[in-house]
A = this chain, B = another copy of it.
């Protein structure tokens, strides 16, 4: 049972709730789903991201000094639309340009790039980075999905910090692309999200005590379903698949992100973190940073995603560890 009011107003009420909670830092542009810093810092490139609602605290939770300048929210699990994204780009009015951070879903890419095209036609300096950290595969074709998922938050952090230090629009775009190349995420769920539809039906159904590996963030089922054995077993499956994406586990240090996909508890996240820790140690991985919490959720899905970022450049860890006022990062 989900605690909401009329489903028609859920997105607007989420945004107003966030403004009540973080009134000292954030503001909502009236009659839009755009949230910005209370005072947008314009002496740097502005970063804009967004996605469908249901992924809270993404992306408004990452607005703040050293991360994003603004976010645009769409309806539940549905990308914000071109007109609203364009509106946000215009409102930012950043002389040093606007960088769009886009998750690799068909609708998101289409809407963001259409807005970018229009903004450029108006003479606005704008570029984009597409995040495609998901290394799950399609169940039958085994085609790589490369969706944009929780790793997006690490891109927000690194680029936000780099923008604050003065990197220009082209430098940020290239940095973002290099970070995306070094990053992989894989998720597992013990139950699917429900879309707050009239029947609260789950988007995919798992047998009791089963898990689905490689789930998406919009209720997409994974590549394999099996009976759940233990947290250690889940950590093992995810890490082994993630490790296979890297030619060496010891050449560079790694940043690790453990993400609650919805209604996983603090207790479970801690136990899972311990299993991840033991397997990283066994594989002699040098962990330069680890974070665990609610970073990019999928409404009420029960599950966890794990992101590995190989820190190929020395500055990345400094960018990740730099201060930010964004509430979702802390």
A residues touching B (Cβ–Cβ < 8 Å)? 1-6, 10, 13-18, 20-21, 53-54, 56-57, 190-191, 208-209, 211, 228, 230-232, 234, 262-277, 290-292, 294, 297, 299-300, 302, 304, 330
Contacts and interface: CB of A to CB of B under 8 A. Distances in A.
- In the complex this chain forms, how many copies of it are found? 2
B20 A264 contact: no
B56 A3 contact: no
A275 B234 CA distance: 38
Contact of A231 (B4, B54, B291): B4
A299 B266 CA distance: 8
A3 B266 contact: no
Contacts of A271: 3-5, 10, 13-14, 17
16 contacts: A1-B191, A2-B265, A4-B271, A5-B230, A10-B267, A13-B231, A13-B271, A13-B274, A17-B273, A17-B274, A17-B277, A18-B270, A57-B266, A263-B263, A267-B297, A267-B299
A9 B90 CA distance: 55
B292 A3 contact: no
Contacts of A13: 231, 270-271, 274-275
A14 B270 contact: yes
B20 A274 contact: yes
A13 B268 CA distance: 10
A261 to B, nearest CB: 10
